[in-house]
């Protein structure tokens, strides 16, 4: 378990260090509102990790309730482990919130007694420390939770015995800092209430502390497995991160990729066919899939431009740690290997070659081509023509206005929400009118759409088929292929879209 956890965190840090560009992203939305100015830097990090929940995001300075903190604790577990928590068999008479039931199933809380949870009760500072350490023990049961050496708070006598371990472990680890007295000492105020922003910051510090500790262990481990990972499937240690990886518009579950530690370094592997799909070159969409050839365990990959000229060639061999990039040798530390008659390609080299950005989002690690345009220009409305038919959809449904042969419109709003409208009386969407709404995030040159709801009209006359149907966890992607500043238009889906005034 300890080694598996260590490799997982080594993976996370290697993911970030692989990419030469920064991880700052632009999206159309603030991830939270109502925060104190001093809290913003750490809340921005929390938002990037996905630790701010929907329930609290609109007023971060309000006091936090037991229900709200339970949801944050569950989010911490899911983001940290990459696994979805399950509600289990727990039940409370005063709430059916599945996130609370997940927290109980994980052992993070047992309620307030009498079969009740007390969802609306405010959480005290010592309760937060206790629940947080319970969450830490679930995700890292092998860690040292000793509080020995922690300085005592001046109001130590007010801290309940059941809370001491959690309070002083958090203090020792720098997760909780206390409240400074006039003489420079610190008190804890165990019975005091906590704000949402403070609770999120404490959880964020715990998240970062555990990553830091895992990195220290990785640095001290010195070795790792031997061998370069050829045809011997046991030649390198394998571990799953237990979360999805997104590369460009490919969303890979843990069953679809392999992570290996080789000589102290960590490598991500994709099956050959999956690799070719997601590592197509950007900015030309369908024309840039690499041509591949495999002969005698030698893999040759070539990317060509529209004129058919090869502008990038990579040659790798199963079991070899040397690759040739446009004819020049490169030490890639770990080569392709064969498992169950399928060739797996280490993608670390290609993340560097394509200068991809890395960021964690919704519990997934995302690798995207870096942007080549000012991302703030995306906010606004765009259409396949220079008119906004979205405002006329009721007239189209009623037949007052005729259906266009094809029309596409999207509004990328400042608050991070979006609205999509497609209408067509021919082609691939015959006699249909489609609406979609949800949230979006921009990483590099890719727009990621999530928490999506769709509505569909079809037929003659148009009839409602379904309304606001949730699309589950499925993500959709748009790649920004180009931006024309002079005409204020963007290129997506191989077509140009114009800014329109709503």
> pLDDT per residue over 18-35, tens digit each?
332 223 333 445 678 999
Per-residue pLDDT, averaged over 79-89, amounts to 81
Look at residue 418 and give its three-state secondary structure.
Answer: strand
160-210 residue pLDDT tens? 999 999 999 999 888 888 888 888 889 999 999 999 999 999 998 888 887
Other Cβ atoms within 10 Å of 304 Cβ, number? 17
Q: Are residues 108 and 135 in contact, defined by beta-carbon separation less than 8 angstroms?
A: yes
Confidence at residue 494, expressed as pLDDT on a 0 to 100 scale: 72
The yes-or-no verdict on residue 11 having pLDDT over 50 is no
228 vs 300, residue with greater confidence: 300
Of the listed ranges 76-85, 383-392, 448-457, the least confidently predicted one is 383-392
Of the listed ranges 120-129, 131-140, 404-413, 463-472, the least confidently predicted one is 404-413
Residues 6+ apart with CB under 8 A from 112: 66, 118, 121
| Structure tokens that stand for 75 in this block | 């989010």
The yes-or-no verdict on residue 76 having pLDDT over 50 is yes
Confidence at residue 9, expressed as pLDDT on a 0 to 100 scale: 39
Confidence at residue 159, expressed as pLDDT on a 0 to 100 scale: 93
Confidence at residue 375, expressed as pLDDT on a 0 to 100 scale: 72
- Report how far residue 173's alpha carbon sits from residue 473's, in angstroms, rounded to the nearest whole number: 35
Q: Residue 483's pLDDT band (boundaries 50, 70, 90)?
A: confident
Confidence at residue 13, expressed as pLDDT on a 0 to 100 scale: 41
Per-residue pLDDT, averaged over 246-257, amounts to 85
Nearest by Cα to 129 from 141, 145, 140: 145
Q: Are residues 265 and 225 in contact, defined by beta-carbon separation less than 8 angstroms?
A: no
Confidence at residue 139, expressed as pLDDT on a 0 to 100 scale: 82
Q: What is the largest CA-CA distance in the chain?
A: 78
257-297 residue pLDDT tens? 888 877 767 788 999 888 888 887 765 444 577 888 898 88
- Report how far residue 134's alpha carbon sits from residue 73's, in angstroms, rounded to the nearest whole number: 9
451-466 residue pLDDT tens? 999 998 887 777 888 8
What is the average pLDDT score of the chain?
79
Confidence at residue 218, expressed as pLDDT on a 0 to 100 scale: 41
298-326 residue pLDDT tens? 999 988 876 778 888 999 999 888 989 99
Confidence at residue 464, expressed as pLDDT on a 0 to 100 scale: 84
CA distances 209 to 129, 140, 175, 234, 241, Å, are: 15, 12, 8, 32, 18
Confidence at residue 405, expressed as pLDDT on a 0 to 100 scale: 61
Residues 6+ apart with CB under 8 A from 183: none
Locate the DSSP E strands across 105-195: 179-180, 186-187
19 vs 431, residue with greater confidence: 431
Residues 6+ apart with CB under 8 A from 290: 276, 279, 280, 281, 301, 302, 303
Confidence at residue 187, expressed as pLDDT on a 0 to 100 scale: 92
Does this model's pTM top 0.85? no
Residues 6+ apart with CB under 8 A from 91: 101, 115
- Report how far residue 243's alpha carbon sits from residue 106's, in angstroms, rounded to the nearest whole number: 18
Of the listed ranges 50-54, 372-376, 392-396, the least confidently predicted one is 392-396
Q: Which domains does the chain have, with CATH numbers?
A: 31-219 (no CATH), 237-369 (3.30.457.10), 375-500 (2.40.128)
Q: Report the DSSP pairing between strands 337-339 and 328-331.
A: unpaired
Per-residue pLDDT, averaged over 144-149, amounts to 84
Q: Residue 396's pLDDT band (boundaries 50, 70, 90)?
A: low
């Amino acid at each position: 378990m300890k080694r598996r956890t260590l490799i997982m965190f080594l993976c996370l840090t290697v993911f970030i260090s692989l990419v030469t560009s920064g991880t700052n992203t632009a999206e159309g939305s603030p991830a939270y509102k109502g925060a104190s100015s001093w809290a913003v830097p750490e809340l921005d990090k929390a938002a990037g990790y996905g630790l701010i929940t929907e329930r609290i995001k609109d007023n971060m300075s309000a006091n936090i309730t037991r229900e709200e903190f339970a949801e944050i604790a569950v989010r911490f577990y899911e983001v940290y482990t990459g696994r979805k928590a399950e509600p289990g068999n727990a039940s409370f008479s005063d709430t059916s919130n599945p996130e609370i039931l997940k927290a109980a199933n994980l052992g993070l809380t047992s309620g307030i007694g009498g079969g009740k949870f007390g969802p609306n009760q405010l959480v005290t500072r010592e309760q937060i420390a206790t629940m947080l350490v319970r969450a830490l023990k679930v995700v890292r049961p092998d860690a040292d939770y000793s509080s020995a050496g922690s300085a005592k708070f001046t109001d130590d006598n007010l801290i309940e015995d059941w809370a001491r371990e959690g309070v002083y472990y958090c203090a020792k680890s720098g997760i909780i800092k206390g409240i400074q007295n006039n003489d420079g000492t610190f008190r804890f105020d165990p019975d005091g209430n906590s704000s949402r922003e403070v609770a999120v910051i404490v959880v964020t510090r715990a998240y970062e502390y555990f990553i830091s500790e895992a990195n220290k262990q990785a640095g001290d481990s010195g070795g790792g497995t031997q061998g370069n990972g050829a045809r011997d499937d046991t030649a390198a240690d394998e571990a799953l991160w237990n979360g999805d990886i997104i590369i460009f518009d490919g969303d890979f579950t843990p069953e679809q990729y392999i992570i290996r530690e080789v000589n102290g370094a960590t490598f991500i592997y994709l099956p050959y066919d999956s690799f070719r799909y997601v590592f197509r070159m950007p900015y030309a969409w369908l024309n840039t899939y690499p041509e591949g050839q495999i002969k005698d365990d030698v893999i040759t990959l070539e990317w060509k431009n529209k004129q058919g000229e090869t502008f990038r060639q990579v040659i790798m061999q199963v079991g070899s740690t040397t690759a040739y990039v446009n004819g020049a040798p490169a030490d890639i530390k770990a080569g392709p290997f064969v498992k169950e008659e399928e060739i797996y390609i280490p993608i670390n080299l290609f993340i560097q070659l394509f200068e991809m950005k890395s960021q964690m989002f919704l519990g997934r690690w995302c690798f995207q081509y870096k942007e080549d345009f000012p991302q703030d220009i995306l906010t606004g409305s765009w259409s396949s023509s220079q008119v906004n038919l979205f405002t006329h959809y009721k007239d189209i449904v009623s037949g007052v206005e005729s259906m266009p042969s094809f029309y596409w419109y999207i509004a990328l709003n400042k608050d991070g929400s979006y609205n999509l409208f497609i209408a067509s009386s021919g082609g691939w969407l015959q006699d249909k009118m489609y609406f979609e709404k949800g949230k979006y995030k921009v990483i590099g040159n890719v727009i990621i759409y999530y928490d999506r709801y769709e509505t569909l009209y079809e037929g003659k006359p148009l009839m409602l088929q379904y309304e606001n149907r949730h699309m589950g966890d499925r993500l959709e992607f748009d790649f920004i292929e180009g931006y024309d500043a002079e005409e204020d238009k963007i290129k997506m889906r191989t077509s140009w879209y114009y800014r329109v005034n709503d």
